[in-house]
Amino acid sequence: MEEKTLNIPNIGLGTWLISNDKVGNVVKDAIDLGYRHIDTAQAYGNEKGIGKALKEISIKREDLFITTKVKAEYKSYSKAKKSIDKSLKDLGVDYLDLVLIHSPEPWLVFRKTKRNWDKKNLEVWKALEDSYKEGKVKHIGVSNFRIKDLENILDNCEIKPIVNQVLAHIGKTPFELIKYCHDKNIIVEAYSPIAHGEADRINEVNEIAKKYNKSFAQICLRYCLQLGMIVLPKASSKEHLEANLDLNFEISEEDMEILKNAKLNTYGKSNIFPCFSQADKNDL
């Protein structure tokens, strides 16, 4: 099994739920502020908007780290391979820094079926490996994979996954999965690290934010960083983009323990997985 190393900025711009017509300005603002890590996905429907922005900036391509994800519904070698080529075209780049399998299961049946997707995921993984060998992709990994899903890849792959991007935030931190990944030298990226914007409903977060004179969002991001994860906060305004970079402080061990045990039992207004309703049944 071939292992790779990866030097990746530990704060990235998440672009989930930023529309294709608006994402370009957000990306340009983020890059102006110092972001060099941009995270998108085929399912987000905004790769073309990001690609347009990349053509309008002066930053060298090699100074940026661009991630996309193969649609969760694409569970065959050919569909995954073609989708990577399409992402390259839509983003207007010669290579992708990181490509992930977006989910071990299609969104429409995510965590709702007993069907085994192991063989299908290995087909997709082979497409990623071949795209890597062709120089189209610099690194490959997965997203939303549980331990058993990772074991399937690790037991059968030629190139080991370098990243697992997962939902992780105060009140919903997958500690066992994070430890497993770190033990296997797999980087963990935290998406929605501010709990879909709802971490301010957690009393402990607000109390500790006041103590450190920081926003609840900054406490959430710093928490994930101190657990050894890369964070991918989504923001649109320059104010929030800039604040999400201002993380040069340390949460004490005592306060980290409080945050590790904090609870967010239910989400309020947020639709956690909007990609689900957009999935194409014909791809299942």
**Per residue in 128-151, pLDDT tens?**
999 999 999 999 999 999 999 999
Residue type, 86: K
Q: Write the Ramachandran bin of 133: left for phi over 0, alpha for psi from -120 to 50, otherwise beta.
A: alpha
Q: pLDDT category, 269, cuts 50, 70, 90?
A: low
Question: Would you say residue 42 has pLDDT above 90?
Answer: yes
Dist. CA 162–CA 5, nearest whole Å: 8
Q: CB neighbours of 143 closer than 8 A, spacing ≥ 6?
A: 69, 100, 101, 102, 103, 164, 165, 166, 191
- 66's CB contacts (< 8 A; 6+ apart) are 38, 40, 50, 54, 91, 93, 96, 97, 98
Catalytic residue (one of 44, 74, 191, 223): 44
Counting residues of the chain whose pLDDT is more than 70, the rounded percentage is 92
Number of H helices, E strands in the chain: 11, 8
Structure-token pair, residue 32: 């102006």
What would the two tokens of residue 61 be? 């391509």
Domain ranges, ordered by start, for the chain? 13-279
**What would the CATH number be for the domain defined by 13-279?**
3.20.20.100
Token representation of residue 278:
């957009």
C-alpha of 182 from chain center: 16
**Measured over all CA atoms, what is the biggest interatomic distance in the chain, rounded to whole angstroms?**
53
Is 267 part of the annotated catalytic residue set? no
Tell which wins on pLDDT, 63 or 1. 63
The one-letter amino acid code at 256 reads: M
Which pTM does this prediction carry? 0.93
Residue 18 pLDDT: 95
- The pair of three-digit structure tokens given for residue 233, joined into one six-digit string: 């906060």
pLDDT for 1 beyond 80: no
- How many CA within 13 A on the CB side of residue 121? 29
Cα–Cα separations (whole angstroms), residue 122 to 29, 74, 131, 280: 38, 12, 14, 21
8 A C-beta contact, residue 132 and residue 159: yes
What whole-number distance in Å separates Cα of residue 5 and Cα of residue 7? 7
